[in-house]
Amino acid sequence: MAAEYTEDNIRTLDWAEHIRMRPGMYIGKLGDGNAADDGIYILIKEVIDNSIDEFVMGNGRTIDLAIRGNEVKIRDYGRGIPLGKVVDVVSKINTGGKYDSKAFKKSVGLNGVGAKAVNALSSFFKVESVRDGQIKAAEFSKGMLVEDLPIEETTTRKGTRITFVPDETIFKNYSFKHEYVDKMLWNYAYLNRGLSINFNGEQYKSDNGLKDLLEKTTDEEPLYPIIHIEGEDIEVAITHTQSYGEDYYSFVNGQYTPQGGTHQAAFRETVVKVIRDHYNKQFDAQDVRTSITAAVAVKVMEPVFESQTKTKLGSQDVGPDGPSMRSFVNDFLSRELDNYLHKNPEVADRLLKKIVQSERERKEMAGVKKLARDRAKKASVHNKKLRDCKIHRGDKDERESETSIFICEGDSASGSITKIRNVNTQAVFSLKGKPLNTYGLTKKIVYENEEFNLLQAALNIEDGIENLRYNKVVIATDADVDGMHIRLLLITFFLQFFPEVVKQGHMFVLQTPLFRVRNKKETIYCYSEDERRKAIEKLGKNPEITRFKGLGEISPDEFKNFVGEDIRLDPVVIGQDSALKDLLSFYMGKNTPDRQEFIIENLKVEKDVYEEEL
């Protein structure tokens, strides 16, 4: 029988209800803080974006950010929200100053939603604005006005302060990770020279913009001094290293766009054209861009992003009456990059040598790669190393957001995950024994080593990670010395040959419970010693305690909880001050005692400690 469809089925949601019911429309995914694009960081970004816009307009040179537990405070020293509109600006949809293009010509937030989304998705939200010696404040909970305080006299400096606590009923078991906030703030600093951001006692400030960004984030010594050129509404920094792949940082109106967009695509295309023209040689585009590290920032009128989270630029033009993005970037680079190379012949010579070296290596590798591809195709027909998921083609955004692959050691662990995984979105790749230590080896080894060749083929990253078939690459190894070593070997492989997988936030380590503590009424899974102690206290006298020594020991019925809704993933994050070369040298170089000490000290539980307590 068909369900009835009457007037009673029609609902009209107010602004806060709609945001809370469909948060993904406003802030992307929710998450728990273990990924850089999780919702709690988007909330911070939405508030800071407003402060950045004030700075860009010449109002205030400092932003203060404090995070204490789950409470976030953001204070700027701009003009302050007009006092009579303080409540409206944070609680009435489509209300804001950015619809007036004269006030905010090249702003990031143009749709009047950001602060409202933060308000609606916070259990506590307070806005305070100071103008002309007066202060106006209001408090909200889940978007609903709780207290509308009267305007009072004050000696406080002008500006706006937002305090909020993300709602735990929306963001489950969340916590802020310093490294993600750190990276976000540095990007703001690089794009806004002269701005000081203070975060929990640390200062973020840049004097040289994108040049500082490359100097701080480039893992190896650049092959030539960083090329740093600027024009009206565009800034570019470029260099090459000896690392593999391509590394880009792109920005629009001070907004980091990790998924690139029309401005990054125009840059990649144009840099090849300009270099071909400069040297009058038809280089292969791959040879020009291999090992490149570059940053590009543009400012456009009324930018169009492909989602509310503004991670990818969709604008085809730089403004309503401006040139196309491609023409804008092409005209700038054709003039400025070509001039730079003419004026700096030593840099031009080193760049040419790097391109020729890449060309020679590509040709030398052509035969090896063909043999490896043929071997991978034959192997995939016969072996069971990869149990693929059903969704890895089709819509790219859907694939990126949903799919994951678990890299397991041995048949027992991969067998357990395979039995209970979500076959639509989760794939499993089974390793055979310990993988090779690839530190210091050339990429040729990737194709000659069967394990890594098949893994590369499974991920589809041979020619770069643009075609990566899974959003999350999850290392699932045992919580013992051997498992930790395998984990480091795998991370070394990716950092050595495909660093973008880590840098762009695709790599994770699966947490699995170390203990099961239970009595007749309740079962508690524990991921640390501290959780085990608390579980014993909670369950009382003589509970049954099981120590899981390997993934294969956990039954499929139990395991389904740990790769399903209750999955715990630790992101593999490289800090701003960490050079890959130094990291790899320490963990995988000729310093075996140091590495062994690191592995032992970083295990979550020591077997002898556990047995001693029993």
> Residue 610 CB: number of other CB atoms within 10 A?
15
Q: Can you tell me the mean pLDDT for 430-458?
A: 83
Residue 289's pLDDT is 92
Q: Over 462-507, what HEC string results?
A: CCCHHHCCCCEEEEECCCCHHHHHHHHHHHHHHHHHCHHHHHCCCE
The reply to whether 539 falls in a domain is no
341-376 burial: b if 16+ Cβ within 10 Å, else e: beeeeebbebbbebbebbbeeeeebeeebeebeebb
The reply to whether 377 falls in a domain is no
**Biggest alpha carbon–alpha carbon distance for the chain:** 81
- Give, in order, the Cα–Cα distances in Å from 241 to each of 19, 353, 426, 575: 45, 12, 35, 19
**Confidence band, pLDDT 50/70/90 cuts, at residue 205:** very high
DSSP labels for 391-452? -SSS-HHHHHHH-EEEEEEHHHHHHHHHHHS-TTTEEEEEE-SSPP--TT--THHHHHSHHH
We report the CATH number of the domain holding residue 470 as 3.40.50.670
Q: Over 294-346, what HEC string results?
A: EEEEECCCCCCECCCCCCCECCCECCCCCCEHHHHHHHHHHHHHHHHHHHCHH
Task: Please report where in the chains the tokens 């090459």 appear, as a residue.
Answer: 240
More confident residue, 104 or 346: 346
Q: Cα separation of 119 and 137, whole Å?
A: 14
Q: Is the pLDDT of residue 263 over 50?
A: yes
The reply to whether 372 falls in a domain is no
Q: Is the pLDDT of residue 138 over 70?
A: yes
Whether residue 291 is found in the same domain as residue 323: yes
Order across the sheet with 386-387: list the strands: 386-387, 426-431, 404-409, 472-476, 507-511, 568-571
pLDDT digits (tens, 9 = 90+) for 7-16: 555 455 677 8
The reply to whether 537 falls in a domain is no
Whether residue 498 is found in the same domain as residue 393: yes
The reply to whether 570 falls in a domain is yes
Three-state SS at 20: helix
Q: Is the pLDDT of residue 608 over 50?
A: no
More confident residue, 451 or 558: 451
- Give, in order, the Cα–Cα distances in Å from 570 to each of 425, 432, 511: 19, 24, 7
Q: Is the pLDDT of residue 604 over 50?
A: no
Residue 243's pLDDT is 80
Q: What is the residue range of 556's domain? A: 383-512+548-613
Residue 591's pLDDT is 52
pLDDT digits (tens, 9 = 90+) for 491-512: 888 888 888 888 888 889 888 8
Whether residue 501 is found in the same domain as residue 597: yes
User: Positive or negative CA dihedral for 546, 550, 551, 556?
Assistant: negative
Strand partners of residue 63: 76, 197
Q: What is the pTM of this model?
A: 0.74
Residue 209's pLDDT is 93
More confident residue, 68 or 394: 68
Whether residue 130 is found in the same domain as residue 231: no
**Confidence band, pLDDT 50/70/90 cuts, at residue 555:** confident
- Give, in order, the Cα–Cα distances in Å from 586 to each of 16, 446, 494, 576, 595: 50, 22, 16, 17, 7
The candidate with the shortest Cα–Cα distance to 476, out of 432, 435, 430, 437, is 430
Whether residue 606 is found in the same domain as residue 466: yes
The reply to whether 370 falls in a domain is no
Range of lowest pLDDT (109-118, 273-282, 332-341, 421-430): 109-118
Whether residue 132 is found in the same domain as residue 262: no
Q: Can you tell me the mean pLDDT for 532-538?
A: 92
Order across the sheet with 234-240: list the strands: 227-231, 234-240, 292-298, 247-252, 255-256
Residue 293 exposure: Cα atoms within 13 Å on the Cβ side: 26
Residue 603's pLDDT is 47
Whether residue 479 is found in the same domain as residue 583: yes
Residue 181's pLDDT is 94
Q: What percent of the chain has pLDDT over 70?
A: 83
**Confidence band, pLDDT 50/70/90 cuts, at residue 593:** low
Residue 612's pLDDT is 35
The reply to whether 371 falls in a domain is no
Whether residue 441 is found in the same domain as residue 492: yes
Q: Cα separation of 20 and 39, whole Å?
A: 12
Q: Is the pLDDT of residue 83 over 90?
A: yes
We report the CATH number of the domain holding residue 339 as 3.30.230.10
More confident residue, 31 or 14: 31
* Last residue in a domain, options 204, 229, 244: 204
Residue 103's pLDDT is 43
The candidate with the shortest Cα–Cα distance to 77, out of 57, 51, 98, 115, is 51
Residue pair 37/28 in contact by the 8 Å Cβ criterion:
yes
Amino acid 246 reads E
Residue 376's pLDDT is 66
Q: Is the pLDDT of residue 569 over 50?
A: yes
Q: Cα separation of 548 and 479, whole Å?
A: 9
Highest mean pLDDT range out of 38-47, 86-95, 386-395?
38-47
Residue pair 179/172 in contact by the 8 Å Cβ criterion:
no
Residue pair 408/551 in contact by the 8 Å Cβ criterion:
yes
We report the CATH number of the domain holding residue 155 as 3.30.565.10
Task: Please report where in the chains the tokens 């400690």 appear, as a residue.
Answer: 609
Whether residue 496 is found in the same domain as residue 571: yes
Please give the tally of structural domains in the chain: 3
Whether residue 188 is found in the same domain as residue 233: no
* Last residue in a domain, options 188, 204, 220: 204
Residue pair 534/548 in contact by the 8 Å Cβ criterion:
no
Q: Is the pLDDT of residue 412 over 90?
A: no
Which two three-digit tokens encode residue 415? 């067998």
> Residue 393 CB: number of other CB atoms within 10 A?
8
Angle at which helices 580-588 and 592-602 cross, to 10°: 90
**Confidence band, pLDDT 50/70/90 cuts, at residue 485:** confident
* Last residue in a domain, options 204, 226, 245: 204
Residue pair 238/226 in contact by the 8 Å Cβ criterion:
yes
Whether residue 26 is found in the same domain as residue 163: yes
The reply to whether 448 falls in a domain is yes
Whether residue 330 is found in the same domain as residue 225: yes
Burial environment of residue 180 by CB neighbours within 10 A (0 to 12, 13 to 18, 19 or more)? buried
More confident residue, 526 or 439: 526
At 131, which helix (H) or strand (E)?
strand 122-131
